[in-house]
Structures are given as structure tokens and as C-alpha cells.
Amino acid sequence: MWRMAFIWLCLAVSCPLAEAQIVSVQREEPRPFGYFVGDLITLEVFVAVDSGYLIDPASLPKAGPVAYWLDLRSVSVDDLGGNPRQWRLRLAYQNFYVALDVRRMTIPGFDLIFKSGENSAKASVAPWSFSVSPLREILPTANDPVDFLRADIAPAPVSLGASRRALLILSSVSALMLGLVAFDRSWPPFRRPQARPFALAARRLGRMRRDGSTDQFRAALRTMHQSIDVAAGRRVLAEDLESFLAEHPDYRAEAESFTRFYRASHRIFFASDETGAERLLPPTELVSFSQRLAKLERAAA
Amino acid sequence: MTAAPQQESVPDLVAWRKAAHALQAEIGTVVLGQKRAIKFLTIAVFARGHVLLEGDVGTGKTTLLRAFARAIGGAFERVEGTIDLMPGDLLYHTYLAADGRPRVEPGPVLRGGEELSIFFFNEINRARPQVHALLLRLMAERSLSAFDRDYHFPFLQVFADRNRVEREETFELPAAARDRFFMEIGIEAPADRETRRRLIFETRFHDADALVGSVRPDVVDYRALDEVARAIQEHVRASPVIEDYVVSLWQAIGDPLSFGIELADVDMERLIQGGGSPRGLSFLVRAARVRAWLEGRDLLLPEDVRDVFVETMAHRIFLDSIYELRREALVAELCRRVFETVASP
């Protein structure tokens, strides 16, 4: 491949003393032809100077538009060391000239200043010319400008594997969470069988073997109290009976039995009057009371 | 003491119950919409307990107490709590006589002599702790030392009130003083529209003096109250079951967690600093017995205990200081939960 050329440049130096400080200015160039609009051109300039001289950053060309058709995209300076000291300047240009025929263009030259204390030296970089070529013929052969357009690139299929996996994992986690919430809140299908305190009490009272002892009667009354408390969700005292029946109107039919039950309970628990209690509410009646309540409870459910 | 003379001196409790209901009805004609407070004051009167009324300004606390004082009869004295009130001001009245010489005469407490039946301390939380200390003895022992001798007040009942709106220039009652009050009754303005309308527009409620003056005096005889109170306590029976129940209640108040009681946003381990004293619990049962008697029973029921519980116990429950500001709501909720949880029979 066509590659490099070395050009010696004469140095036009104002100060005769400084002339001796610049040892050499070399440029490494790309091919000088065959460029199209938008192409990048990289020039490298090597300057050898006496040691002690440092490049003056202010003298470097500024990145930005150079001419209406030319941009300087970047400038970098490297100190390569050695004796005499080598400096490398790398300049990246971009050509925006839209040529209609093959045409020679010139990148302007510039001066670099090196300084050592009060002394300064100037190294001039000469202009560089190259030829640009057109991309298409001047008179289009096709009638329809659309014909110049190339076909669209067919869209490449995007892999959905990761999303599909994430969807699968997240939806199974959500389903699990929903299941846990349903379990916690007793939503279907986790609905627990409704508590039926009166049915439980009726079963327990039915199971009690009737030995006629007062302890058993006390236990039976306690069981009944507990079932009423469970049904109400709080402790129900005789004075609360009205509010309990208002909250649970299904049992209102048994209001009279409730009152009798509480009176019997008062007699036995708070007046220690067992016979009076049994007279008020015989044990058999207590059992049938609990069964009637269980029936009402079933009907209400 | 033998049984026979006691039998002779037993007052007719049925007649006394009628008198108690008459007392409530009489007060009810001048103090509207405070049925519950009137009931509790009646309970306190028949349990011979001192009462602290607490409530907003202008809800009729003072009128209520004055009406009671008039209906009960006996000597009545009142004192306004102020920041510069000193214990001596309750006992002695010092002044310059017409002849220019200083004189010391009996002060408000001693003026009525030993017949003093109601001592009314208005705005008690404005008085200093020294005054509270004097009151402590007066309430607990019904006696005082002054003029180099002891005074006894066998019929004395202390009524006090404090408004709960102001906190500036007030002295919180020490726990010991609060514990000596038999009841602490909260007074709210009546919520019923009709009662409110009457209180606002009926002119007879505008003049508190005339209103109190319209109460029939001496509906009950204050000299007999001690005896009646004793008889009531003996008359109303408490079964072992109810005794168990009250002990469980005390335990539940002191250690709610052991009964599985938890309140929202409250660290239950820290909440309770003191959950009622033995004196408090004995007051509770005393009040409950009077309530049972007023209901026409000779049996103590859980309902009686529950009805008087907040008024006799709430001010004896001491909370951790960080919960003290929410005291009213927390204690009410705690009591409610305790009664929902502790099984009665």
C-alpha cells in the first residue's frame, strides 16, 4: 500500500539563534489522493528540538472548523524524549468537500513555537495537498431519485429469551404471593370452615354424661357462656344481651331463653344457689337450648 | 361487736335506695344531660368516697357538686385552688380586726366545725403540692391538726374538680393524692341536641346560684350516710367466682400481655408502670357493691364491676411517660379490651 513520504522543509526563522534549536521537522502523511466527502485524514508531524525547549500550547492549531469544507477534529501532542528531543503532533482532519470532479485541495500549514525561558524557536509545518473525488456521476441515469436509495436493511430478530425468563419468574413469584395473601386473608380456596360455636357447644353438652352433679352443671353453663362469647367476639354479660341480639338478630327468637340462661348463671355463679339455678333452667332444657341455638346458627350461615 | 346491736341499727336499705333514686332525680332536674355523672356521684356518696371531677370549662362541674352538697345537707365549704394558696390558708383565716390587732380565726376547713359534710376544692390542680399534701391527710384520715389540737370530720366527703384544658401554672396531682380519690369522673358537655338547646335557651340554667337554690335540700341525711354505706357493703354479697373475676381483671390491667391483650402502636411491655393498688381495687369493689344495691340486687355481678371500672380505676393506672400524653384514649381502650378478654364465670 502506498504509504509514506518524507519531505524536508526549510525553516523560515526570524531569529538566527533560534534556527539552530530546531533540529528537524518531519511529516508522516497518508496517500494524497482518493478521498471522498466525510473521509478522515490523519497527519503526524515529528519535530526534533534541542532539549530544554518545550512546546508552547498556544501555538498548537485549535480543534474545530479550519475552512468551510474542512474540520480539525482532534489535536494531540506526545513528548517522545530522546536527544534531541522528539515531539509528535497528531492531527485528525475530516474532509467535507463534495467534489463534482477530481479536485486538489490543500490543508493549510501552521507554525509551532518552542520556548526555553526567554528564548523561543519556530518550526513551520508546510501545507499539505491531496485530491478528492466525487461519489456519483453529475447527471443521474435513473429517472426516479428513489431508485438511488438502497433497500432497507431487514430488521434482525431480537432475542426475547431473557424477558421471557424474567416474565416467567416474576409471574410465578406473584402467583405465590397472591396465594400467601389469600391464605392469610382466608380468601377462597383457603376459606376456613366458619366457626360454629353453638354447634360446638351443643355437641359438647350432648356428650356430657348426666350424673346430676352441680359441678357438671356449672361446666355446662360455662361452655354455653364461652360459645356466646365466641359468637359475639367479646365477653357478653347479661346487660349486653340486648346489644348482642341486636347484632345477631337470628337469635332473637330465643331472647327469653337467653334471659333465663343468664339468670340461672347468676344464681349459680354469683349467689351460689345451685338448686335455684336448676329450677330456673333444668339441665335438659340447657341442652335443648344449645341445640336450638345450633339450629338457628346453621340456618343463619 | 355483737350481732344484736348491729341488727338493730341496720338501716332500711329499701327506703334508702328510694332516697338514692330520689337524690338522682332531684339533681337531674337542675343538671341536664349528666345522668352518668350523677349516678357515679350518687355511688360515691353512698360509698363515702372522695370524688375528682374532670372536664372542660363550663360543663357544669361546679354546679353539679354544689347541687349535691345542697341535697345532702350538712356544712358545706369551698376553696378555690390558686397558685399562691398555702396549707395554712385552708386552716386559718388571718386578718386585721377593727381594733387594729391581727386575728387568727378558723379557716375554710375548720369553720364549719366537725359537722363538715362536703368540702369542695375547685380547680385543685392550680394549688401547690403542699396543699395537696394537707388534702391527702384530710381525705385519708378525715382529720387535721390545727390550733394545737386534732379535728375530726366523720361526715366529710371531698369533692374536687379540675379542668383539663389548661396546663400552665398548674401542678399535676401526685399519684398518692390521685389514688386517694375514690373516683375520677369525666364530665363532657351533653351531646343530645334537645338538652343542648334547653341549656342554651332556658333562662333558669343561666343563673347557677338560683339553680342550685332550687334543689330540695336534705334529700338524704348526711349523718346517716356512713352507717348506710357500711350496711350496703355488708348487704351485697360477692361470690368466689366474682372474687376470681376481679383478681383476673387486676392481673390483666397490670400485665395485659399475659392475657394476649395488645393495643395498636403501643409497646405493651412498657405501657403499664403501675396497674392499680390494693386500695384502688377495694374502692372498685366498694363502688361496684353500691351500684349493685342501686340496681336493686344483693348480688355483686360482673356488670357492676365493669360499669364502675373506668371511673374508679383509670386514674390509678400509671403509664410509661411516653404514653402519658395519649393517656385517656389508651386507658379507655385498655379497659375495654380487658373486659372483652377476661371471662366472667
- Write down which residue in A116, A136, A156 finishes a domain: A136
Residues of A in contact with B306 (CB under 8 A): 237
Residue A33 within a domain: yes
The tens digit of pLDDT for each residue in A161-215 reads: 999 999 999 999 999 999 999 888 877 777 766 678 888 888 888 887 666 677 8
What is the reported pLDDT for B149? 87
Taking a contact as any Cβ pair under 8 Å apart, which residues of chain B between 301 and 320 contact chain A?
A: 301-303, 306
Residue A155 within a domain: no
Residue A162 within a domain: no
Confidence of residue A126 (pLDDT cuts 50, 70, 90): very high
- Write down which residue in A136, A160, A179 finishes a domain: A136
Q: Do residue A25 and residue A130 come from a single domain? A: yes
Residue A5 within a domain: no
* CATH of residue A91: 2.60.40
Of residues A13 and B235, more confidence is placed in B235
Residues of B in contact with A272 (CB under 8 A): 239-240
Cα separation, A180 vs A173, in Å, equals 11
Contact A270 B341 (CB under 8 A): no
Asked whether residue A264 carries a pLDDT value surpassing 70, the answer given is yes
What is the reported pLDDT for B286? 93
The tens digit of pLDDT for each residue in B34-50 reads: 888 999 999 999 999 99
The tens digit of pLDDT for each residue in B82-95 reads: 888 888 888 898 89
What is the reported pLDDT for A209? 64
B122 forms beta bridges with: B80
Confidence of residue B9 (pLDDT cuts 50, 70, 90): low
Residue A146 within a domain: no
- Write down which residue in A93, A113, A136 finishes a domain: A136
Q: Do residue A208 and residue A131 come from a single domain? A: no
What is the reported pLDDT for B260? 84
Residue A171 within a domain: no
What phi, psi does A5 have (nearest 5°)? -145, 145
Confidence of residue A19 (pLDDT cuts 50, 70, 90): low
Write down all domains in chain B, each with its CATH number in brackets: 17-220 (3.40.50.300), 236-341 (1.10.8.80)
Residue A72 within a domain: yes
Residue A164 within a domain: no
Asked whether residue B275 carries a pLDDT value surpassing 90, the answer given is no
What is the reported pLDDT for A12? 39
Nearest residue on chain B to A269, alpha-carbon basis? B241
Q: Do residue A29 and residue A127 come from a single domain? A: yes
Residues of A in contact with B340 (CB under 8 A): 234-235
Contact B345 A265 (CB under 8 A): yes
Expressed as residue numbers, the domain containing A284 is: 197-300
Closest partner CB to B340 (pick from A226, A234, A269): A234
Asked whether residue B76 carries a pLDDT value surpassing 80, the answer given is yes
Q: Is B345 on the interface with A (CB under 8 A)?
A: yes
- Concatenated DSSP letters of A238-300: GGGHHHHHHH-GGGGGGHHHHHHHHHHHIIIIIS--HHHHHHHS-HHHHHHHHHHHHHHHHHH
- Grid cell 518524507 is found at A6
Asked whether residue B5 carries a pLDDT value surpassing 70, the answer given is no
pTM, two decimal places: 0.67
Helices (H), chain A: 16-19, 161-185, 197-207, 214-232, 241-247, 255-265, 274-280, 283-300
Q: Is A272 on the interface with B (CB under 8 A)?
A: yes
What is the reported pLDDT for B179? 83
B12: exposed, middle or buried (Cβ count in 10 Å: 0-12, 13-18, 19+): exposed
> What is the tally of structural domains in chain A?
2
What is the reported pLDDT for B7? 41
Taking a contact as any Cβ pair under 8 Å apart, which residues of chain B between 200 and 239 contact chain A?
A: 237-239
Percent of the residues in chain B that have a pLDDT greater than 70, as a whole number: 97
Confidence of residue A15 (pLDDT cuts 50, 70, 90): very low
